[in-house]
Copies of this chain bind each other. A is one copy, B any other.
Amino acid sequence: MIIQLKKNITTEQKLSVIQAIEKVNYQVNEVKTQYGHYLIAVGKKEFDIRKIGHLKGIDDIHRVTDSYKLVSKKWRVHDTDVDLGDGIHVNRQQFSIMAGPCSIESPEQIDQTIEHLKTHNIRMMRGGVFKPRTSPYAFRGVGLEGLKIFSEKCRAAGIKVVTEVMQVSQVAEMHDYVDIFQVGTRNAQNFNLLDELGKTNKAVMLKRGFSGTIEELLQAAEYVFSNGNEKIILCERGIRTYETAYRNTLDLNAVPILKEKSHLPVIVDPSHGVGLRNYIEPMALAATMAGADGVIVEVHQCPEKALSDGQQTLNYPEAKQLYERLHATYALRKSFNG
């Protein structure tokens, strides 16, 4: 049960509400975000909302039977708008494209990518500076210093920075240089990291665990929201199955389901999904028709020379064609849903 509190609720009023709920053996969690103030009440019994509905300081009360609460569409009528500033938003009213290399490699590479993005009017650049690698001996990214250059150049160009955060201590270090904190598939249930990101005011993009369920993705989002941050983006990026003909099974079924169950925007990553360059475009277009609010794709001036993930990275002409077709496909989808 979600109890939305009035902005001007007094401490006394709040305590009265909490007492009334705890009286029926419900556990109460107080949540204060950028935008709202809530009590989340969790318990086993049926609860008669009228018992507390009359109390002062309450704006609205919603029953939510899902295992996740605040990220559920059952209580929030309007969809979440993730506002990145400078007129850049991720939400369900437009189609968002995030593009860039798997790993940030050099200042020149950043410059080239920014130029490429500007040509195509793309305003979010992805690029890893801390790379989760299966082997400890592999390239693990240019680190914080690289991020600073990445950030400086993007800011100068009016482009937002999307990059992966891997541990709690990085959240503070990276904070000023990042616009969207990306949580990678291997950290999809790193609950301490989710807690910490919930305490910031930056957008957080949560990748589905490579063996995560749709419900677990929404519960990860609940961690961020319940710690105080409503700026959450969900990202489908492929799951692990028995099939070996491609890298991961990009699960587009998750797209319409996430959109029905939650009010958060849903992005698809076809690069890590199918993981083979030839199939990125058809899967990105398919994601668009499935209802995605955007895609995140890997592009590189010269994929053959990329330090990581070259086999799933588009070159600039391939990317150009993809962007154009994404826009056309999204326009068609929009025409369907009015």
Closest-CB distance, A205 to chain B (whole angstroms): 18
Copies in the complex: 4
Closest-CB distance, A285 to chain B (whole angstroms): 4
Closest-CB distance, A58 to chain B (whole angstroms): 20
A332 in complex: contacting residue of B222, B241, B291, B328, CB < 8 Å = B328
| Cα distance A29–B137 in the bound complex, in angstroms | 7
Closest-CB distance, A113 to chain B (whole angstroms): 25
Closest-CB distance, A267 to chain B (whole angstroms): 15
Closest-CB distance, A227 to chain B (whole angstroms): 8
Stretch at the interface among A46-54, A152-160, A164-172, A309-317: A164-172
What's the tally of chain A residues with a CB closer than 8 Å to chain B? Answer: 75
Interface string of A246-269 (1 = CB under 8 A from B): 100111111111001000000000
A81 within 8 A of B: no
A65 within 8 A of B: no
- For A195, the chain B residues whose CB sits under 8 A away are 136
| Cα distance A249–B249 in the bound complex, in angstroms | 9
- For A79, the chain B residues whose CB sits under 8 A away are none
Contact check, B253 vs A250: say whether CB atoms are below 8 A apart.
yes
Given contacts A167-B193, A249-B253, 4 further A-B contacts (CB under 8 A): A29-B136, A257-B279, A282-B291, A328-B335
